[in-house]
Structure formats: C-alpha cells, structure tokens
Structure 1
C-alpha cells in the first residue's frame, strides 16, 4: 500500500534499510530514534507477514512508552481501522497476519512461549542485562525470513555492556568501532551492524524550547548534558546528585512561595534497628524542573505507635504520604490511626528508574534545617563493583532520605512536560476540597 508521510531526513535511509541483522541506534533526548523505529517496524509488517517482539527491561514501562507510541503512529497514519491495538494482552495485529508482541525482561518465563519472531526491538537496551540480550538472540529465529534486531538507547557509561559489545571492551581487548567516529559520520556500517547516531537537532518536529531546555543542562549537570544533548557515551561521575545544593531555610521558603503552581509531595521510608524512619516534605517547581526539600523527620529504634504520636500533625493536615509498599502491615497501621498513607509503586528495576527520575531535576535545593538529608545526599556516591565499575542502582551508603524522596515522587515524572492540573498531596482524604491550611510551608521547618 502507498503511504505519504513527512519524515526526518536523517532517518530516511534507516527507515527503509533491512539489509543487516543488527541496527544500533544511540542518541540524545528528543532525537526521534524511538519514533522512527516504531514507524520502521510498522512499514515492514504492513509489507510482509512477520512477528515482531518489542522488549524493555521492565514490562510495566511498556504500555506508556512503546505501545502508546505505536498506537499514536497508527492513528496519525489513519490506519486504526485496519491495524488493531489490543490492550490485554498487549498486542498489535495487522490485516495481513503480522503482529507485534510486547514483553519485559523482568518476566523471562513469558519469553519461552514465543515462536517465529523475525524482528526484535530492544528499547532502552542499556537497561537490559547482557544475559537478557543473549537470551533474546536465541529467541530471534524463523525458518525462512531474514532476522533483524534493533537496539535503541540514550548513551550511558562506557562500562555498560552495550558499549563493550558494539564498540570497545578494553578488558577483553575488543575493538569494533570508536564511538567518536560515529558521532562524526552519523551512520556507519561494520560487519553486519548498522550504526546510527542522532540528536535533537535531527528532529525537525521538535519545538525550539525543548532544545533550549537541553542546552540548559550544561549549567547544572555536565554528565546529563553529554547524554541528553550531545548523545555521547562517557564515564559517569561518581556523585549521584551533582545538582544538589543546600540553602538557608528562609531562602528555601521564599523561593517556594514564588512558584506559580507548586506540587506538594510527602514520602516515607520505614526503618527500625540500624535503618531509619525517614519522612521528607517536598515541593516541585514543575515548570523549571526544580525539587525543593524543606522538612524532614529522621529517627530509628522507634516503634510505629511512638512514631505515629511524633508525626501526628499529618493526621490533621491529611497530606498524602506515599510510603514503602514493601511494608503493607505498617501502612495499614498508619491508615487505621487516621493517616492518609498509600504504598508507592515498586517493581524490578524501580531503584534505577527512581534514581534517574531524581537526577533529571535541574536543581535539588534543600533547606539547611534538613541536616540528615544533607548528610546523606550532598556527597552521595555510587557503589563500585569488584572491577571498579559503577553500579547505577546501588550507593556507597544506605540513604534512607533518598528512598523517601523516591516514594514521595511516585506518580510524578520529571521528563513529562504535560501540565499538572492539581496536587493530590494537599487534598483531604476522601474529599474533593483543598486542605484549609493557609500556608502549607508553615507546616514544616522543624527537624525532630
């Protein structure tokens, strides 16, 4: 069938090239590599009867990313009357018998029942484990169709398996391609692999304001600037939150008062003997992507009944506390005591996802009254494995306030530019009216 559609010139050759087994796409944020990969697969499956497998490390992240992207493109192409996007189980079915199936590497047993897959797309391949990549290679098989595997990613550390496998592994003395050559030539073909590099500048449909936002990363996180704006691999710095800064409490309150649409969040991590009950009150400046931390509670060796007495103010304010869902009995206790508390969503890989979420803030500004937050986060560094390589979801210390921040941010996505219409944390439990507290910032400020 004939399809007319405007495309980004930098992706034109890639869209129609099916001569190679591997397609490795690396690039900065907003470069449209994922969009064009989804479009490429749709065109192929319309032309030939095939089964394509789309994979991410965590299955729960697929619906709002890959699946919705396919759905969006199919609707834009006005093919939604012919191509069916089935939600449960997630599948896309074509009129010629082609289909796209979606799986997560956190549920490996589900891969064993897959047969005759001739195309595999691994989205955010740097998050998939190397063993998972090799497992998927074994699932890529068909009696007569040519086989293809597409890998897309934002660049990460040069210690990641995808860099070592497709570029350079110094330890194994393996040299395939110098990534600097790829940044210069933009597309390179070596052996049976098609390499493609892209930046936000290659996406003609991207607003100028988004590119300016990426340019601004250079002022507060040079590592993220390298990844998001330049689309280049590198050696990540050891510091987890280089944009973290402390300010006097009165300055923090003054800055928060100037936010046009502040989002109020509260997170709680549970602990007892050597770990801590940690609670943080947060305010998000969504427009400027700044996270404020202005109140904390931090104690250990406290039973739940004693803690409930010390944090009784939350019963009065009815602020929503998002807490560690691994402790359902504890959450139930606080709910019965009258606290507005819910478990934050946890899933395999959530530590890494939550860490990345916090790192996306341009600034993290903490009140000097929150000394335990400062002690844990100001110089927080990544853990190092036996080979001296960074472990991106583990830290040199156990930062309980960091976990509390993760839980408090549950349901909020820093990279999401959609407008937040309301803030559920300052709504009364079970009611549709805002809490009557005249100044939410005056609730906190004391370190217990």
Structure 2
C-alpha cells in the first residue's frame, strides 16, 4: 500500500512476471470492474515484459484477455462485478487484487475460497492506495475496533515501511521511493495539501484516515473520568437514552447521553453494543435500566421489540420518524458546539469520529447517507427525539424534557 506514483503496481507486475518465468503457475488478476483491467493491469504487464526483454516469450491475447508463457504459465483476468464467473476458475496459485480497497469484502472472501492449489505456496497480492479506516482492508489487515480485532498499528508500518506479521507481508511506499517520477509530479502532490488535505494524506503520504467530508468535526474523545466530572458540573443536565435495534448483520446500540443545554455540549458517557443476540439476552444485559426506570427512546420501526421490553418492565418509548427525519436528526446533532465521548465508548468513537457523508456521482454529499451504517448515531437520533438544540445564534428555542 502507498501513495500515488509510488510504483506499487509496477513492482507487483515485475514480481509476477519473474515468478511465472521461473515456475509454471496460473495467476488470476482481479479488479472490481472488468472493463478497467485492459487499460491498467494488462497494459502494464505488456509494458514491463517489453522493458525486461521477455516479450517474445509471452503471448498477449485480448479475447479472452490472458497472457501465456512459453513454459506453460498463464495470467487470466476477471472483474468482481461478475463474481459468479470466479466459480468456474481452477488451478490458481497466485492472485493479484489491484486497487483492493475498491473490491467488496464479499469478493475478497470468494477469492480466498478459490485459492487452494496443491503442491506449491499459494499467494494473494493486494495493492492499493489507503483510503478510509472504515474500509474492509483496514479492518481485515490492521484493526477492527468494533469487533475487538487488532493485528497491526498502521502508524508502525509508516515508520518501519516493511513488516511481516503472521502470514502477511506489509509494504508501505510513497512517491519518494520512485526514482523515475518527474519532480513536477511530486510538486503537484505536495500542492494538494492546500486544496484537499484528505486527498493529500492518501496521495502524497500513502496513509489511511478520513476520506470525505466529516459529518461531526466537533466530535472528540475524552477520558471517561473527566467526562463524568464535566457532567457533574452541568447546570441542570438533561439525561437521555436511545436504542437502535439490530440482530445478525447489524448491531444493537444503546447509549446514555447528557446534554449541557446552556453551552450546547452533548456528552456520550456509556454504551451497550452487541450483535446476534435475542431480545431476551439483551434484556438481561441491560437490566439496570429496568431497575432505574430510566426512559429509553427506541426505533419506532420495531413495535414488537418495544412491546417486549415494556412487558419485561423497561420504560421504553417509540421515537418519532417522518420523511426526511434522518437528515433533520443529523442536522440537530450537528448543532452542538461540542460532542464529547467517553473513551470507554469504543464503538461510538469508532463509528462517529471519522464518519463521512456519501457522495453522488457529481461529488455532492448526500446528507442522510454515510460511509458506514452508524448504529450509535441512530441511538443518538432516538435519544434526542423530543429535544431541540438552540441554533448557534441563540434563538432561544424551548427545551422539551
């Protein structure tokens, strides 16, 4: 992984050609969209074969697209936009996934299941520009805080450049590692910092982070004890609880909030986060709410679940939803001057700290769609269902308790 112009793809292509000249192998080259392969991977392999002086020992075919070697080695090309075609592939011992961050995780899992050629070492080579930390590549190869998975700190890779961890070889590069790139190109990448810091981080530095417009730039994490001390000093704190229901593929999120209305600060100080649990199991996990008789505002789209919790003794109420409520509720949360989250609420921090808006084909943000499905944000929406933040000009809107 690395920045623009760091010659990642070039070196992968060289590695594959050398391997196939030395050993009889069958290689699968993959991109998310098949139509992009000819002008990228196929042409690159052809260019390198000429430069290496081995072009005459290889046969480049365009229909079907493949490369044959005189020793019987072969390179075939597929797009993940047609994953069903992978099922008929056999004999593959090396896979190159170019721009792997664009490939869906389901596609990557499909490839893992196809790589099982006996008698030789099987390899998957993934090349990419690092994008958002919400991308599956970061979660799979570095860390996934929502599932308590830690493999490697990306900061360590930026420092050491090459790391072997378990069965994965990590290599980080930037344009500075490419001695053949013109200085004018490096200057263009440097100038990105002035106009687009996010793209500069990816293109010039080759680092993961936020990719897109941040939804809550005022969000910050704070030591839990400090959060609780600040809440203690709020003048008439407004305490709220919100819950978003999930099950197998989505998460249950229950948050405790404290609102400092005078200073327009939202505190998030406790979370419950789970998946693949029944309502009976969850009710046992959150039993404290039954004892304290605290009101929980929950998703009105789940009336059966709300009825169950009421029967169990919980003081749960349905939130209000309406057309455009996602957009309006998000704007409500954005009106807080600060959103301070306890460091104990690891899933809330993970979902909201780097939450970005989705964009349409014209690059315009979609105000009610995000780069991930943030269950903790839904819980906040419901918790603040009957509360309104005064606008930043201090219009003196009423507080509903």
Calculate the TM-score normalised by the size of structure 2.
0.56
| 2:69 aligns with one of 94, 112, 117 | 94
Q: 1:383 offset after TM fit, Å?
A: 1.7
Q: 1:132 offset after TM fit, Å?
A: 0.5
Describe the superposition over 1:182-220 as per-residue Cα deviations: whole angstroms up to 9, x where unpaired.
000000000110000000000011111110010010010
Q: Give the number of equivalent residue pairs.
A: 234
| 2:186 aligns with one of 193, 211, 227 | 211
* Structure 1 spans left out of the alignment, 5+ residues: 1-25, 241-351, 360-376, 391-448
Q: For 2:164, what is the secondary structure of its paired residue?
A: strand
Describe the superposition over 1:27-82 as per-residue Cα deviations: whole angstroms up to 9, x where unpaired.
00000000000000000000000000000000011000000100110111222211
CA, structure 1 residues 353+64, in 2 after alignment: closer, same or farther (shift >3 Å)? farther
- Partners of 2:376 and 2:82 in 1: how far apart? 27
Q: For 1:42, what is the secondary structure of its paired residue?
A: helix
Q: For 2:76, what is the secondary structure of its paired residue?
A: strand
Which segments of structure 1 move beyond 6 Å, counting only runs of 4 or more?
Answer: none
Q: For 2:200, what is the secondary structure of its paired residue?
A: helix
| 2:374 aligns with one of 377, 381, 387 | 387
In the other structure, the counterpart of 2:15 is 40
In the other structure, the counterpart of 2:123 is 148
Q: 1:238 offset after TM fit, Å?
A: 2.3
Alpha carbons 2:175, 2:181 under 8 Å: kept: yes
In the other structure, the counterpart of 1:77 is 52
- Partners of 1:61 and 1:67 in 2: how far apart? 10
- Partners of 1:198 and 1:382 in 2: how far apart? 36
Q: 1:389 offset after TM fit, Å?
A: 10
Alpha carbons 2:360, 2:366 under 8 Å: kept: no
Residue 181 in 1 paired to residue 156 in 2?
yes
Matches within 5 A, 1:337-356: 355=361
In the other structure, the counterpart of 1:291 is none
* Structure 2 spans left out of the alignment, 5+ residues: 216-357, 378-401
Describe the superposition over 1:63-114 as per-residue Cα deviations: whole angstroms up to 9, x where unpaired.
0000010011011122221111111111010010000000000111211111
Q: For 1:219, what is the secondary structure of its paired residue?
A: helix
Residue 228 in 1 paired to residue 214 in 2?
no
In the other structure, the counterpart of 2:170 is 195
In the other structure, the counterpart of 1:126 is 101
Q: For 2:88, what is the secondary structure of its paired residue?
A: coil
Calculate the TM-score normalised by the size of structure 1.
0.50
Q: 1:235 offset after TM fit, Å?
A: 2.2
Q: 1:382 offset after TM fit, Å?
A: 7.4
- Partners of 1:110 and 1:354 in 2: how far apart? 29
Alpha carbons 2:199, 2:211 under 8 Å: kept: no
Q: 1:353 offset after TM fit, Å?
A: 11
Residue 168 in 1 paired to residue 168 in 2?
no
Residue 135 in 1 paired to residue 122 in 2?
no
CA, structure 1 residues 90+98, in 2 after alignment: closer, same or farther (shift >3 Å)? same
Describe the superposition over 1:126-180 as per-residue Cα deviations: whole angstroms up to 9, x where unpaired.
1111110010011112121110000010011000001000001000010000000
Kindly report the root-mean-square deviation, in angstroms, between the aligned alpha carbons of the 2 structures: 2.2
Alpha carbons 2:25, 2:92 under 8 Å: kept: yes
- Partners of 1:239 and 1:381 in 2: how far apart? 11
Q: 1:237 offset after TM fit, Å?
A: 3.7
Q: For 1:81, what is the secondary structure of its paired residue?
A: helix
CA, structure 1 residues 182+388, in 2 after alignment: closer, same or farther (shift >3 Å)? farther
Matches within 5 A, 1:239-250: none
Q: For 1:110, what is the secondary structure of its paired residue?
A: helix
- Partners of 1:118 and 1:68 in 2: how far apart? 22
